[in-house]
Chain A
Amino acid sequence: MRGPTPSQTVGPYFTMRIGAEGENVLTTPETVGERIRVEGFVYDGDRKHIEDALIELWQANAAGRYQHPADDRDDAPVDSAFSGFGRCASDFKTGAYSFLTIKPGPVPHPNGRLQAPHISLIIQARGMLDPTYTRVYFSDEADANAADPVLATVPADRRGTLIAVRVEDGDGSVATYRFDIRYQGDDETVFFDV
C-alpha cells in the first residue's frame, strides 16, 4: 500500500481553473442568515501582500449545520441555498481577498460543548508546499469565544490572530469583518494541524 500522496504548491497559475470570479459569493437571495463580508489581506514574512494566494472557505449554515453526509443531526436544518464552500484568489495588485457569506451558527465539539461560531480557511499559494489551515472567529462573539474549546488550546497571546474584527462599512447593509493572514513574525496567524 502506498502512503499518502505528497502535497505540492498550487503555483501561480491556479486561477486557470480555481477561484473564478463569483466563487467567493456564497449567498443567494434565498440563503438564510445574517449577511456578512469577511475580508482582509494575506502577508508574507516581509509584510508584503501575497498577491497570488488561494483562500478556501468552509463553514456551517446559519443553524450551525454543515451540508455534508457526516453531519446528520436532526436538530439543525440544512439550507439548500447555502453550500458553505467558497474560494477566492487574492487580488493581484492589492493582495486583498473577500467572501460574501452568512454568519455561521455554533457547531458542537466532540466533547459535547458548543464551539463558537467560526469559519475554516485553507490558504495556499506559490511558495507554499503545503496548505495551511486556520479558523476565523468573530469579535462580537466574546462570550462564545471565551468558552470555545479550540480557542482554549491556543496560547492566550496568540488568540487574537484568529478573531475577525467587525468594522464599519459603507452602507451598513452587510456586516464586515476584517481578517488578515500573516506568515512569520511575532503576530503570525495561528495555523492548525488539521
Chain B
Amino acid sequence: MSVVYTPRAHADHPPFLYSDYKGTRKRSPTMPLIPLVQTLSEVTGPGPLWSELSEDDADLTTNAGTGGEAIGQRSIITGRVLDDNGAPIPDALIEIWQANSCGRYMHWREVDFPAPLDPNFLGVGQCRTNADGAYRFLTVKPGPYPWGNHHNAWRPAHIHFSLLGPALTTRLVTQMYFPDDPLFEFDPIFQAVPPHARDRLISTYDHEITTPNWALGYRWDIVLRGPLATPDS
C-alpha cells in the first residue's frame, strides 16, 4: 500500500445537520465520527474498474433513443476532475441526472409538479475522464423546480453529479449549479455549504466553449481528495 489520501476536509463540506433543510433533522448522525486509519479497504475502490466497464453516454439531448431531440437550451458542460494537488484524475466515472428544461424529472416519484415531461429527454448520462482528467456532456439546461421543504421552496437549476474516483475515500456525490441563479439565497441545500466553498459548486459561463449557432458552454472543474504521501516515491 503506497498511497494515503488527504483527510476529508470537513470544513469545506456541509454539516450533517442543517436544520433549514428539514430532511437532515432525522437523517443525520449525532455521535462523532470514529477516526479511521486508511487501510487497503479505503485506498482502493470501484472507480478504475467501473470506468473501464462503462461506455460514454454523454449526449443527453439525444440519448433517449427516440430519434427526437430534447427541448431546451442546448448546453455543453465540461471541465476537469483534479485532485487537491492539482493533478488530473483520469478514468473517473461521472454519472449525472437532472430535471428537464421545465424542471420535471423523469422519475416515478415525481408526481406533484404539473410540468410537462419531454419524451425525448431521460435526464441521465455518464462519461469517464480522459488522461487530462477532462469530461464533457451535452445536455439541456435544467429548470428550477418546487419541493416541499418550506412554503414556496424552489431548487435552483442543478445537475446531480456522482463521481467514482480512484478510491473509496474520494467518493463524491454533489450538484452543479449555473451562474447567477436568483434562487441560491432561498435554497437550504446550497446554503448548507460553508460560504467560502459555495462558488465551487457553480459552473462558469465560458464563451470559448459556446459553439456558434449550436450550444452555450459552461465550465466546471471538480476537485477530489488526492494522495497525501507516496512513501515509495
Q: State the A residues within 8 Å of B (CB).
A: 1-18, 44-46, 48, 50, 52, 56, 58-60, 66-71, 83-85, 92, 107-111, 115, 118, 120, 122, 124-133, 135, 149-150, 153-154, 158, 183-185, 188-194
Q: Which residues of A contact B23 (CB under 8 A)?
A: 9, 126-128
The secondary-structure label for the interface of chain B is loop
Q: Does A194 contact B189, Cβ atoms closer than 8 Å?
A: no
Check if A16 sits within 8 Å of B29, measured CB to CB: no
**A83 and B35 in contact, given A17-B95, A70-B167 (Cβ under 8 angstroms):** no
A182, closest chain B residue (CB): B29
On whether A60 and B172 interact (CB within 8 A), knowing A7-B13, A46-B26, A83-B46, the answer reads: no
Asked if A85 contacts B46 (CB within 8 A), the reply is yes
Are A45's CB and B173's CB within 8 A?
no
Contact B34 A7 (CB under 8 A): no
A85 B173 Cβ-Cβ under 8 A? no
Among A4, A7, A128, contact of B28 (Cβ-Cβ < 8 Å): A128
Contacts of A158 in B (CB 8 A): 31
Distance A83 CA – B54 CA, assembled complex (angstroms): 13
Chain B positions 197-224 with a Cβ under 8 Å from a chain A Cβ: 197-198, 200-201, 221-224
Residues of A contacting B175 in the complex (Cβ-Cβ under 8 angstroms): 8-9, 11
Interface, chain B (partner A; CB < 8 A):
1-3, 7-9, 12-16, 18, 21-31, 33-46, 48-50, 84, 86, 95-97, 105-107, 109-110, 122-124, 126, 160, 162, 166-169, 171-175, 189, 192-194, 197-198, 200-201, 221-225
Interface of A is mostly: loop
Contact A5 B86 (CB under 8 A): no
Complex A-B: 17 CB contacts under 8 Å: A3-B84, A6-B14, A10-B162, A17-B126, A68-B45, A85-B46, A107-B41, A108-B39, A126-B23, A127-B22, A130-B15, A154-B34, A189-B29, A192-B36, A193-B36, A194-B42, A194-B169
